Structure 1
Amino acid sequence: MDNNRNLILAVLLSALLLFGWDYAMRTFYPEVETPTEAASAEDVPAERAENAIDAGDEVAPAELVDVETALAGGQRVPIDAPEIVGSINLVGARIDDIDLKTHRQSVERDSGPVRLFSPAGTAAQHYARFGWAGDGVATPGAQTVWRVLEGERLTQDTPVTLVWDNGQGLRFVTRFSIDDRYMLTVAQAVHNGGNGTVALRPYGFITRTSLSADPSNFNVHSGPIAANGDGVNFDWDYDEVDEERGASFGNGTDWVGFTDIYWLSAMIDGGGENAVGSVRPLGSSLYRAELLYDPVNVAAGATVGNTTRLFAGAKESSVLSDYQNAGVAGFNNAIDWGWFGIIVWPMWQLLIFLFGIVGNFGVAIICLTLIIRFLMFPVAQKQFTSMAQMRAVQPKMKALQERYKDDRVQLQQEMAKLYKEEKVNPLAGCLPIFLQIPIFFALYKVLRLAIEMRHQPFLYVKDLSAPDPAHILNLFGLLDFTPPGFLGIGILAVLLGVTMWLQFKLNPAAMDPMQQQIFMLMPWLMMFVMAPFAAGLLIYWITSNILTLAQQWFLYSRNPQLKAQMLKEKEEKAREAQRAKAEAG
């Protein structure tokens, strides 16, 4: 009767965990919503006018337009760099058209490049603009039409210079240049051809909608990001910016912008000025990251300049490290490595190294697993030694349990005394599990964040950073539907369950019937729980299970008495189960 009750309890707890896990995954990893609404003037908060540098281009039209329509209107200067293609809008001198050449939207070869920047008024509007603010003086704004002074196309070798004259003696010049990756340099200058001194304040901002942003959760940050002397700030998401009506990062901001899981747009203080970074809500899911410099006085006949760099691209670890080595403070930490960063970073470097040798990330993950298990082999030996010691004292433990079955306190004291006399540590066998936890989460973080893993194939899997696409319930794609949530069981999830079940079968049977029942359910429960995770993570776990089976076989061969005792106990338990069944019948 107790066994039946325990079994029912184990089933209920397993179901609770299974369905609870699915609910948690849908809560913390929601689907990205499709933008459906545009911003309008009446949606913008009243205090925006007081804080805005130039509010002219953040208010989108009442109805969204598609990107092709938006790009067709107005004059543009093409951008054609090794990693970036797009254009600069001469209206406002906005950088609002950027595609990433080497990153596709999906695993399909004809899916087209990832679009990072889009014009104002489109569903995924995301753009940057640089200018000057001043009281009582005409400065270039959102609707200012600039003239090309030099350059017809922005390339790595040919910069583009734009100019605008305010008709009051001030001549504004903006020079754009780009490197071979994702960094643009925006050099602003103003010449005062008038008679008096003019006070101006240079600035830059990035505006984007949150409707096209990746969801942010406890494990992966998406949203506003900034860096100053205290490090990289991941504290703010879009909802918190709304609640606090803005986030300020103070004087000495090194860079500020917006991050998704794989993409980053950020303005970098290019001249060492005492810049102030902030992020403001503009209403209707629009947000603006600002970099505001100290005011400057431009005397008659003088020219004053300011330089800001704009990163608009993929968060490739090696690229960010190169920029950091070139002076962009903390730039490699734009990837949110998290609490296990001390493990994640070297693990990622090792994985990249292995990938360079074997040429496939799936094989590299298997090689990484081999290395980890090799390093942990001494720990596994200690685990088996502890297991052998525990088995050796089990007859004495059973005697104590029979003697003190009605006195749990006394039983615990006698058990502790037995462990001390026999020099047995019952927790020693748990050490490998505790060591595996940070390694597992570190690899999960790597597979989740590293863009180098995105769209990497292995066997039939086209993207190791995505779940296994071969779902059993839709007959591996033959049926035209996608199983929901935890029911999306794939080949890798089944292999995970089978290898874990074999691993538990090879372990000595637990004394407690409740533990036995849980251990028998656990592999199939984990099969459902792990199915939605990245295929690369399942490959790691399956490989680890297979190596554990091989390792157990080897250690059993080195400790035949442990295997013999385990088989003897299993036979005794089988006889007891048959006897109990006969008595019940």
Structure 2
Amino acid sequence: MDNQRNLILAVVLSALLLFGWDFAMRTFYPEPETAPIDAASREDAPMQRVDGGDGTTGIDVGDGMERPLNLDAELATADRITIDAPEIAGTLNPVGARIDDIVLKTHRQTVDDDSGPIRLFAPRGTEGQQFARFDWVGEGVETPGAETVWQVTQGETLTDETPVELRWDNGSGQEFVLRFAIDDHYMFTVTQTVLNTGEGSIALRPRGLINRTSDTATASTWNVHSGPIAEGGGEVNFDFDYEDVTEARRVDLQGNTNWLGFTDIYWMSALVADSESASSGFFAPLGGSNFAAVLEYEAVTVPANGSMTRTTQLFAGAKESGLLDAYEDSGISNFGRAIDWGWFGFIAWPMWQVLIFLFGLLGNFGLAIIGLTIIIRAVLFPIAQKQFASMAQLRAVQPKMKALQERHKDDKQKLQQEMAKLYKEEKVNPLGGCLPIFIQIPIFFALYKVLLLAIEMRHQPFTYIRDLSAQDPATILNLFGLLDFTPPSFLAIGILAVLLGFTMWLQFKLNPAAMDPMQQQIFMIMPWVLMFVMAPFAAGLLLYWISNNILTLAQQKYLYSKNPQLREQMLKEKEEKARAAEREKAATDDA
């Protein structure tokens, strides 16, 4: 009866874990209702009014908008300057000199071949607005603003080989110049120059800002940051999300700010300060769901017939690890750490390097994951051998342990003392078999973070799977898509999830049977509980776990062949436990 009660309790707890996990993830870390890639083209949602003269932020963002503007109509306005770089296309708006139209040529919205490119920047007033602007702040001098119409004085198209220059004269002896250049990836270089031909000196503070809506942002979760990001003092700051900025009204960054902006899981827009000039930064709400990241330089006095120049970079693109590291090598402090590898970054980063190498070698991300799994198992193989040696030692002293348990069953303290003495005399480490498990935990979480953040895995296929970064699409409940309905997430069990449960069940079956019948019952249920829990995760992560289970089974078979006495003893114990269970069942039936 006790075993039956314990089994029922185990089933109930497993069900609570299964449904509680799904409820918690949906409640505290909901997925965004609409993908950021589509939001800029929708016209049906209301737009919060933007206050253009917020005294708290000091940011001129122009007149308020009562409704979202049509994206196509805004991009059709005259005199826009074309941007045509190897990985970026779009336009630059001469009104306000805003970079407000960017699509990423090398990243699609969906896995479909005819899917359009990712839209990162969209004009002010559209629902997916995100743009960058560069200006000056000064007293007693007229500076260009959000509605200033700039004149193109050099270049017709902004490419990686041809820069564009804009000028504006305030009519009072000051001329402002913006020179835009772009590299062959995602980095703009914006040079701000002021020419003072007036009679007296002027004081100006150059600055750049990124304006974006949080409506299209990736949801920020406990292990993936989405929102404001900044670097200063040698540290990358992931401390604030959009709600924090709203509550604080303005978040000033301490010390010198090297770069700041907004990040999603895969995309980022960031302003990079001139390394030779002191700079500061802050984040501020602009009303509704709009926010600004502002990079300011110290005020500079420009004498009569003098000039002043500041150069700021703007990154607007995909968070490709190798590219961010290359920018860091070129002098942008900690830019590679814009990808938050988490607590186990010391494991995740080298693991990622190996994975990328295998991807380049094998040409398929699924094969690269399997290859990485093989390498990890090979590295851990000596530890597994020690685990089996420890298991063999424990099995060898099992009769002595049972004798001690019988002898001191009423005196737990004495039993613990005698057991410790036995372990010391027999040179047995009872925790030796746990070491591989503890080592696997940080490896698993590190790989989980790698596969979650790696844009290189996005839209990568493997066999029937079209996107390893997404959930397994072949769910059993709707007959692999033949039935026209989508199962709820906790019932969307795919082929990979079933394989995960089955291989884990085989792994437990091959292990030595637990002495406690309750433990045996839990071990038999746990694989199928994890099958439900892991089903919503990225297919790439499940592929790793399945590969790991298969390799573990092969490894166990091999080590059992090298330690036949352990295998024989395990089988003997299983037979004894089976006979004991039959005797107990017979006694219960007779009663």
Aligned with 2:410: secondary structure?
coil
What is aligned with 1:515?
519
Question: CA contact under 8 A between 1:148 and 1:160: conserved in structure 2?
Answer: yes
How far does residue 276 in structure 1 lie from its aligned partner after superposition? 0.6
Question: CA contact under 8 A between 2:471 and 2:536: conserved in structure 1?
Answer: yes
Give the letter for the 1:40 counterpart. Answer: R
What is aligned with 2:57?
51
Give the letter for the 2:367 counterpart. Answer: V
Bigger shift: 282-291 or 386-395?
386-395
Question: Could you list the per-position Cα deviations for residues 529-560 of structure 1 after superposition, in whole angstroms to 9, with x for gaps in the alignment?
Answer: 11111111111111111111111111111111
Give the letter for the 1:403 counterpart. Answer: R
What is aligned with 1:109?
113
1:259 to 259, 263, 281: 263
Mapping 1:204-223, distance limit 5 Å: 204-223=208-227
Give the letter for the 1:478 counterpart. Answer: L
Question: CA contact under 8 A between 1:74 and 1:90: conserved in structure 2?
Answer: no
What is aligned with 1:243?
247
Whole-angstrom distance in 2 between the partners of 1:342 and 1:228: 21
Whole-angstrom distance in 1 between the partners of 2:529 and 2:33: 30
How far does residue 362 in structure 1 lie from its aligned partner after superposition? 0.7
- 1:38 and 2:42 equivalent? no
Question: CA contact under 8 A between 2:280 and 2:297: conserved in structure 1?
Answer: yes
1:293 to 297, 309, 315: 297
Question: CA contact under 8 A between 2:151 and 2:166: conserved in structure 1?
Answer: yes
What is aligned with 2:42?
none
Aligned with 1:572: secondary structure?
helix
How far does residue 132 in structure 1 lie from its aligned partner after superposition? 1.1
- 1:229 and 2:233 equivalent? yes
Mapping 1:153-164, distance limit 5 Å: 153-164=157-168
1:569 to 560, 565, 573: 573
What is aligned with 2:447?
443
Give the letter for the 1:106 counterpart. Answer: T
Give the letter for the 1:418 counterpart. Answer: L
Whole-angstrom distance in 1 between the partners of 2:417 and 2:479: 56
Question: Could you list the per-position Cα deviations for residues 355-392 of structure 1 after superposition, in whole angstroms to 9, with x for gaps in the alignment?
Answer: 11111111111111111111111111111111111112
Whole-angstrom distance in 2 between the partners of 1:41 and 1:271: 33
- 1:461 and 2:470 equivalent? no
Bigger shift: 408-417 or 219-228?
408-417
How far does residue 107 in structure 1 lie from its aligned partner after superposition? 1.0
Bigger shift: 299-308 or 368-377?
299-308
Give the letter for the 1:276 counterpart. Answer: S
Whole-angstrom distance in 2 between the partners of 1:522 and 1:53: 56
Mapping 1:322-337, distance limit 5 Å: 322-337=326-341
Aligned with 2:271: secondary structure?
strand
Aligned with 1:478: secondary structure?
coil
Whole-angstrom distance in 1 between the partners of 2:559 and 2:255: 61
What is aligned with 2:156?
152
- 1:181 and 2:185 equivalent? yes
Question: Could you list the per-position Cα deviations for residues 28-49 of structure 1 after superposition, in whole angstroms to 9, with x for gaps in the alignment?
Answer: 431114474422146x8x9x32
Whole-angstrom distance in 1 between the partners of 2:573 and 2:302: 90
Pair 1:551–1:271, CA change in 2 (3 A): closer
Bigger shift: 368-377 or 72-81?
72-81
How far does residue 50 in structure 1 lie from its aligned partner after superposition? 4.0
Aligned with 1:162: secondary structure?
strand
Question: Could you list the per-position Cα deviations for residues 49-90 of structure 1 after superposition, in whole angstroms to 9, with x for gaps in the alignment?
Answer: 243142426x4x111123212212343101000000000011
TM-score, normalisation: structure 1: 0.96
Whole-angstrom distance in 1 between the partners of 2:401 and 2:12: 30
How far does residue 418 in structure 1 lie from its aligned partner after superposition? 2.3
Whole-angstrom distance in 2 between the partners of 1:279 and 1:51: 9
Bigger shift: 570-579 or 365-374?
570-579
Whole-angstrom distance in 2 between the partners of 1:257 and 1:202: 17
Question: Could you list the per-position Cα deviations for residues 270-324 of structure 1 after superposition, in whole angstroms to 9, with x for gaps in the alignment?
Answer: 3521011111111201110001111122222222221111000011111111111
Question: CA contact under 8 A between 2:136 and 2:204: conserved in structure 1?
Answer: yes
What is aligned with 1:9?
9
Bigger shift: 339-348 or 417-426?
417-426
- 1:356 and 2:360 equivalent? yes
What is aligned with 1:492?
496
Question: CA contact under 8 A between 2:190 and 2:312: conserved in structure 1?
Answer: yes
1:170 to 162, 174, 191: 174
Question: CA contact under 8 A between 2:233 and 2:255: conserved in structure 1?
Answer: no
Question: CA contact under 8 A between 2:50 and 2:286: conserved in structure 1?
Answer: no
Question: Could you list the per-position Cα deviations for residues 3-50 of structure 1 after superposition, in whole angstroms to 9, with x for gaps in the alignment?
Answer: 0121112112211211222123224431114474422146x8x9x324
What is aligned with 1:339?
343
What is aligned with 1:316?
320
Aligned with 1:51: secondary structure?
coil
Pair 1:142–1:87, CA change in 2 (3 A): same
Question: Could you list the per-position Cα deviations for residues 455-500 of structure 1 after superposition, in whole angstroms to 9, with x for gaps in the alignment?
Answer: 1111111111111111111111111222112211111111111111
Question: CA contact under 8 A between 1:74 and 1:91: conserved in structure 2?
Answer: no
- 1:23 and 2:39 equivalent? no
How far does residue 396 in structure 1 lie from its aligned partner after superposition? 2.2
Aligned with 2:394: secondary structure?
helix
Whole-angstrom distance in 2 between the partners of 1:114 and 1:457: 19
Give the letter for the 1:39 counterpart. Answer: Q
Whole-angstrom distance in 1 between the partners of 2:19 and 2:428: 39
How far does residue 106 in structure 1 lie from its aligned partner after superposition? 1.2
Question: CA contact under 8 A between 2:320 and 2:456: conserved in structure 1?
Answer: yes
Whole-angstrom distance in 1 between the partners of 2:310 and 2:294: 15
Whole-angstrom distance in 2 between the partners of 1:69 and 1:584: 81
Bigger shift: 150-159 or 399-408?
399-408
How far does residue 229 in structure 1 lie from its aligned partner after superposition? 1.9
Question: CA contact under 8 A between 1:28 and 1:218: conserved in structure 2?
Answer: no
What is aligned with 2:529?
525
Aligned with 1:168: secondary structure?
coil
What is aligned with 1:415?
419
Question: CA contact under 8 A between 1:75 and 1:91: conserved in structure 2?
Answer: no
Give the letter for the 1:519 counterpart. Answer: F
How many residues are treated as equivalent by the alignment?
A: 580
1:554 to 555, 558, 564: 558
Question: CA contact under 8 A between 2:57 and 2:250: conserved in structure 1?
Answer: no
Whole-angstrom distance in 1 between the partners of 2:176 and 2:96: 12
TM-score, normalisation: structure 2: 0.95
What is aligned with 2:100?
96
- 1:275 and 2:279 equivalent? yes
Whole-angstrom distance in 1 between the partners of 2:196 and 2:101: 31
Bigger shift: 430-439 or 404-413?
404-413
Give the letter for the 1:435 counterpart. Answer: I
Question: CA contact under 8 A between 2:263 and 2:269: conserved in structure 1?
Answer: yes
Q: Percent identity?
A: 67
List alignment gaps of at least 5 residues for structure 1.
none
Whole-angstrom distance in 1 between the partners of 2:561 and 2:505: 21
Give the letter for the 1:397 counterpart. Answer: M
Aligned with 2:114: secondary structure?
coil
Give the letter for the 2:2 counterpart. Answer: D
Whole-angstrom distance in 2 between the partners of 1:408 and 1:2: 22
